[in-house]
């Protein structure tokens, strides 16, 4: 179950629970975390249920819906310049942690992030496909979904191919430099510490335009209200599936969140 309708719910729960279990935080702690939105919403939900104080730093370019959800769940938001991307949000979180004696969960560096995907996401995929998966495709934000899921899937299915997806204008995994893009939630502009760069077999670059178009197409032809990064994932999956040598293969990708989180964006400029 993903209570706030995104793939980030499970990492939020695992990071908070692990921090509580280890004694790193307690009921008097202030959690501070940089987020592009979905991890923040997941954290706001779990923190509300546990009566924990939460401050989130987020680029001002993230959708207004995300901001409203965060404040609705009781989190405090500190916006950072869009031009600084996620790196700016991370720096602000680190500064606030010093000023307010807060605890940063560090989703980009925290092994509790990929761990929960190894224990849950991968197991669910194997069960639902009856152990028949040839390709796993996932966009990279923190890298937790791709790393944890791919590591567990490859343990069970050594011939499986893992594919990373990134914005074409911020193609750091492909050897390029970080840049601005509109696929919210992925393409942080740097290679996250928790990303296992040896686990994926290929990187597919997807443009903003194609990600938006694919997300709209999924709504109109499949009745699936998904977000922009989901469009990028499906676009990359179609690209690989269209290759003649992959005919008959089984592909699994992630629909990361819901379109309702992007009502104010150009996703709805039909």
DSSP label at residue 120? I
pLDDT given for residue 113 in this prediction? 99
Say what the pTM is. Answer: 0.95
- CA-based diameter of the chain, in Å? 58
Q: Specify which residues 253 forms β-bridges with.
A: 137
- pLDDT band at residue 170, thresholds of 50, 70 and 90? very high
pLDDT given for residue 37 in this prediction? 86
Spell out the domains of the chain, with CATH numbers in brackets.
9-104 (3.40.50.1100), 112-268 (3.40.50.1100)
pLDDT given for residue 232 in this prediction? 99
Catalytic residue among 5, 139, 229, 230: 229
The share of the chain scoring above pLDDT 70, in percent, equals 100
- Separation CA 138–CA 126 (nearest Å): 16
Say whether 168 is catalytic: no
> Who's near 56: CB < 8 A, 6+ residues apart?
32, 33, 34, 35, 40, 43, 44, 70, 75, 76, 77, 78
Mean of the pLDDT values across residues 140-162?
Answer: 99
Task: Give the C-alpha distances (Å, rounded to integers) separating 74 from 105, 143, 252.
Answer: 18, 27, 35
Task: Give the C-alpha distances (Å, rounded to integers) separating 212 from 17, 166, 188, 227.
Answer: 35, 14, 18, 8
- Report the mean per-residue pLDDT for the chain: 97
Mean of the pLDDT values across residues 206-217?
Answer: 98
Closest Cα to residue 137, out of 150, 124, 125, 148?
A: 150
Task: Give the C-alpha distances (Å, rounded to integers) separating 61 from 180, 218, 227, 255.
Answer: 10, 24, 16, 22
- Separation CA 67–CA 155 (nearest Å): 39
Look at residue 1 and tell me whether its pLDDT is greater than 70: no
Look at residue 24 and tell me whether its pLDDT is greater than 80: yes
Mean of the pLDDT values across residues 144-157?
Answer: 99
Catalytic residue among 6, 8, 63, 230: 8
Look at residue 14 and tell me whether its pLDDT is greater than 90: yes
Say whether 229 is catalytic: yes
Closest Cα to residue 57, out of 19, 96, 22, 28?
A: 96
Residues 83-136: pLDDT tens digits?
Answer: 999 999 999 999 999 999 999 999 999 999 999 999 999 999 999 999 999 999
């Amino acid at each position: 179950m993903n209570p706030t309708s995104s793939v980030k719910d499970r990492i939020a729960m695992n990071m908070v629970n692990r921090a509580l279990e280890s004694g790193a935080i307690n009921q008097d702690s202030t959690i501070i975390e940089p987020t592009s939105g979905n991890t923040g919403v997941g954290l706001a939900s779990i923190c509300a249920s546990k009566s924990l104080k939460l401050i989130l730093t987020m680029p001002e370019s993230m959708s207004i819906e995300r901001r409203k959800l965060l404040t609705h769940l009781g989190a405090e938001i500190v916006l950072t310049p869009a031009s600084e991307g996620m790196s700016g949000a991370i720096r602000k979180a680190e500064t606030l942690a010093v000023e307010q004696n807060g605890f940063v969960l560090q989703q980009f560096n925290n092994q509790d992030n990929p761990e929960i995907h190894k224990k849950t996401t991968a197991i669910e995929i194997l069960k639902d496909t009856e152990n028949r998966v040839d390709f796993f495709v996932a966009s990279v934000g923190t890298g937790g979904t791709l790393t944890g899921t791919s590591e567990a899937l490859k343990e069970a299915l050594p011939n499986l191919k893992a594919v990373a997806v990134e914005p074409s204008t911020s193609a750091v995994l492909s050897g390029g430099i970080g840049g601005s893009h509109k696929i919210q939630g992925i393409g942080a502009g740097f290679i996250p510490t928790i990303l296992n760069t040896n686990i994926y077999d290929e990187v597919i670059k997807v443009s903003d335009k194609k990600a938006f178009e694919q997300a709209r197409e999924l709504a109109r032809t499949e009745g699936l209200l998904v977000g922009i990064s989901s469009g990028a994932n499906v676009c990359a999956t179609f690209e690989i599936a269209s290759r003649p040598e992959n005919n008959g293969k089984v592909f699994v990708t992630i629909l990361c969140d819901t379109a309702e989180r992007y009502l104010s964006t150009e996703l709805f400029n039909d």
